[in-house]
Structure 1
Amino acid sequence: MKKSGRKEKRKNDNIYAIENVYEECKKILKKSKLVKHVEKIKLETPKERINADLAIPCFSLSKKPIELALKLAEFFNKYKGKRLIKKAEAIGPYLNLQINYENFAKNVIEDVIKMQEYYGARNEGGGKIVIIDYSSPNVAKPMSIAHLRSTIIGQSLYNILTFLGYRCIGDNHLGDIGTQFGKLIVAYKLWGNKDRVEKEPIKELMNLYVRFHRESNERLEELARDYSKKMEEGDEEALAIWKWIVDLSKKEFNKIYEMLRIKFDLELGESFYLSMTKEVIEDAIRKGIAKESENALVIEFEDMPSLLIQRSDKGSLYQTRDLATIKYRKKRFDFYKCLYVVGSEQKLYFKQLFKAAEMLGYIKKDECVHVDFGLMRLKEGKLSTREGRVILLEDLIKNAIELSKSLIKEAKNEEEKDEIAKKVGIGAIIFNDLKEDRIKDVVFDWEKALSMEGDSCPYVQYACVRAKSIIEKYGREISAKGLKFKNLEEEEKLLIRRIADFPKIILIAANSYKPHYIAQYLLDVADAFNKFYEKHKVIGSEKEKERVAIVKAAYITLKVGLKLLNIELPEKM
Structure 2
Amino acid sequence: MNPSVYSRYRTAFVEALAQNLGVPASELDSQIKPADPAHGDFSFPTFPLAKAQKKAPPAIAAALAQAIKVPGLEVVAAGPYVNAKFAPMPFTGEVIDTARAQGVRYGGGDVGTGKTVVMDYSSPNIAKPIAFHHIRSTVIGHGIANLHRALGYKVEGINYLGDWGKQFGLVAVGFQEYGDPARRNDMAHLVEVYVKANKRAEAEPAFDERARDFFRRMEAKEPEALALWKEFRETSLRDFERIYARLGVKFEHMEGESRYQDKMEPVIEELAQKVGVKESQGATIVDLPYAENEPPVMLKKNDGSTLYATRDLAAANDRWDRFHFEKSLYVVATDQALHFRQLFRVLEAMGREWTKRMVHVNFGRVHGMSTRKGTVVLLTDVLDEAKARALEKVQENIKAGRIQTNDPDGLAEQIGLGAIFFGDLKNRRTTDYTFDWDDVLAFEGHSGPYLQYAHARTCSILRKGGGAPASYDASLLTLPEEQALLRGIARLPVVVQEAAEQFEPSFVARWLLDLGAAFNSYFTAGNQDRGKRVLLEDNDALKAARLALTDATRASLAAGLTLLGMATPEYM
Relative to the length of structure 1, the TM-score reads 0.90
Matches within 5 A, 1:102-141: 102-141=89-128
Q: Corresponding residue for 1:18?
A: 6
Higher mean C-alpha displacement, 59-68 vs 258-267: 59-68
Aligned equivalent of 2:179, options 192, 196, 201: 192
State the alpha-carbon separation in 2 of the partners of residues 43 and 545 from structure 1: 36
Q: Matched residues in 2 for 1:477 and 1:550: separation?
A: 9
Which residue does the alignment assign to 2:344?
354
Structure 2 distance, partners of 1:297, 1:510, is 39
Task: Measure how far apart 1:34 and its partner are.
Answer: 7.1
Quick one: structure 1 residues 527 and 325, their matched pair in 2 at CA, closer, same or farther if it must change by over 3 Å?
Answer: same
1:186-212 Cα shifts (integer Å, max 9, x gaps) = 221233112234343343333442453
Task: Please state if 1:60 is matched with 2:48.
Answer: yes
Paired amino acid for 2:534:
V
Per-residue deviation, 1:363: 4.8
Instruction: Report the equivalent of 1:342.
Output: 332
- Partner residue, 1:145: 132
Q: 2:132 is matched by which residue type in structure 1?
A: I
Q: What's the counterpart of residue 72 of structure 1?
A: 61
**Residues 1:502 and 1:487: Cα distance change in structure 2 (over 3 Å):** closer
Partner of 1:533: 523
1:498 pairs with 2:488? yes
Which whole-Å CA distance do the structure 2 matches of 1:374 and 1:250 have between them? 27
Report the CA distance shift for 1:195/1:148 in structure 2 as closer, same or farther (over 3 A): same
In the alignment, is the contact (CA less than 8 A) between 2:185 and 2:232 conserved in 1?
A: no
SS of alignment partner, residue 449 of structure 2: helix
Read off the aligned partner of 1:135 and give its amino acid letter: S
Seen in structure 2, the aligned counterparts of structure 1 residues 41 and 250 have a Cα distance that, compared at 3 Å, is closer
Equivalence map 1:262-301=2 (5 Å) = 262-301=249-288
Cα offset for 1:74?
A: 3.8
Match of 1:439 among 409, 427, 430: 430
Q: Which amino acid aligns with 1:58?
A: T
Paired residues for 1:238-387 under 5 Å = 238-302=225-289, 304=291, 305=294, 306-378=296-368, 382=372, 385=375
User: Where does residue 529 of structure 2 map in the other structure?
Assistant: none
Matches of 1:270 and 1:59, distance apart in 2: 56
Go from structure 1 to structure 2 and tell me whether the alpha carbon gap of 1:191 and 1:19 turns closer, same or farther (over 3 Å shift): closer
Map 1:505-516 to 2 at 5 A: 505-516=495-506
Partner of 1:7: none
Query: What is the CA–CA distance in structure 1 between the aligned matches of 2:129 and 2:553, rounded to whole Å?
Result: 40
Residue 157 (1) aligns with residue 144 (2): yes
Q: Which residue of 1 aligns with 2:475?
A: 485
Closer, same or farther in 2 for the Cα pair 1:522/1:328, shift >3 Å? same
Q: d(CA) in 1 for partners of 2:445 and 2:54?
A: 39
Q: Confirm or deny: 8 A CA contact 1:140 1:205 kept in the other structure.
A: no
Q: Summarize deviations over 1:465-504 as a string: whole Å, max 9, x none.
A: 111112222334534x562325611100100000000000
Deviates more, 1:249-258 or 1:346-355: 249-258
Moved more, 290-299 or 15-24: 290-299
Residue of 160, 164, 167 corresponding to 1:177: 164
Q: Which of 402-411 and 322-331 deviates more?
A: 402-411
SS in 1 for 2:255: coil
* 470-479 or 347-356: bigger deviation: 470-479
Question: Structure 1, residues 156-190: CA drift from partner, whole Å, max 9, x if none?
Answer: 11111011011001111111111122232222123
Amino acid at match of 1:406: E
Alignment counterpart, residue 385 of structure 2, candidates 382, 389, 399: 399
Q: Distance in 2 between matches of 1:302 and 1:47?
A: 51
Residues 102-111 or 129-138, more deviating:
102-111
| Residue identity matched to 2:430 | I
Compute the displacement of 1:383 (Å).
Answer: 5.8
2:413 to 404, 422, 429: 422
Counterpart Cα distance in 2 of 1:544 and 1:315:
72
**Contact persistence 1:339–1:371 (CA under 8 A):** yes
Q: Which moved more, 1:340-349 or 1:56-65?
A: 56-65
Q: 2:460 aligns with which of 461, 469, 475?
A: 469
Alpha-carbon distance in structure 1 between the residues aligned to 2:54 and 2:553: 38
- Secondary structure of the structure 1 residue equivalent to 2:384: helix
Would the alpha carbon gap of residues 73 and 552 (structure 1) be closer, same or farther in structure 2, given more than 3 Å must change?
Answer: farther
| Shift of residue 323, structure 1, vs aligned partner | 0.6
**Separation of aligned partners in 2, 1:62 and 1:209:** 73
C-alpha spacing 1:452/1:191, structure 2 compared with 1 (3 Å): closer
Quick check: 1:85–1:97 contact (8 Å CA) kept in 2? yes
1:32 aligns to 2:23 (yes or no): no
Q: Partner of 2:478: helix, strand, or coil?
A: coil
Query: Please, what TM-score do these two structures have when normalized by structure 2?
Result: 0.91
Residues 277 and 41 (structure 1), Cα distance of their counterparts in 2 relative to 1, 3 Å cut: closer
For 1:426, the aligned partner's letter is: L
Of residues 486-495 and 336-345 in structure 1, the stretch that sits farther from structure 2 once superposed is 486-495
Q: CA deviation at 1:456?
A: 0.6
Q: 1:383 to 1:478 in 2, by over 3 A?
A: farther
**1:205 paired to 2:196:** no
The structure-2 alpha-carbon separation of the partners of 1:231 and 1:315, relative to structure 1 and needing over 3 Å to count, comes to: same
Contact (CA 8 Å) 2:170, 2:198: kept in 1 or not?
no
Matched residue pairs, number?
Answer: 551
Q: Cα distance 1:243–1:65, how it changes in 2: closer, same or farther (>3 A)?
A: farther
Matched, 1:449 2:449: no
- How many Å apart are 1:259 and its aligned residue? 1.6
- SS of 2:84's equivalent? strand
The residue type paired with residue 385 of structure 2 is: N
Q: Distance in 2 between matches of 1:407 and 1:142?
A: 29
The AA in structure 2 aligned to 1:562 is: L
Map of 2:528 onto structure 1? none
Distance 1:221 1:402 in 2: 40
- Aligned partner letter, 2:182: D
Query: How far does residue 505 in structure 1 lie from its aligned partner after superposition?
Result: 0.1
The structure-2 alpha-carbon separation of the partners of 1:380 and 1:492, relative to structure 1 and needing over 3 Å to count, comes to: same
Q: Which residue identity lines up with residue 548 of structure 1 in the other structure?
A: L
Give the whole-Å Cα distance in 1 for the aligned partners of 2:125 and 2:477: 60
Q: Equivalents in 2 of 1:65, 1:402: separation in Å?
A: 69
Q: Which amino acid aligns with 2:365?
A: L
Once the two structures are superposed, what CA deviation does each residue of 1:39-83 show, in whole Å capped at 9, x if it has no partner? 4343222344x332222223334338983343333443454x432
Structure 1 segments unaligned to the other structure (5+ residues)? 1-10
Task: Calculate the aligned-residue CA RMSD, in Å.
Answer: 2.3
> SS state of the match for residue 127, structure 2?
coil
Distance of aligned partners of 1:224 and 1:285 in 2 relative to their CA distance in 1, 3 Å threshold: same
Letter in 2 for 1:416: D
Q: Distance in 1 between matches of 2:199 and 2:454?
A: 51
CA distance in 1, matches of 2:274, 2:506: 42
Q: Would you say 1:572 and 2:571 are equivalent positions?
A: yes
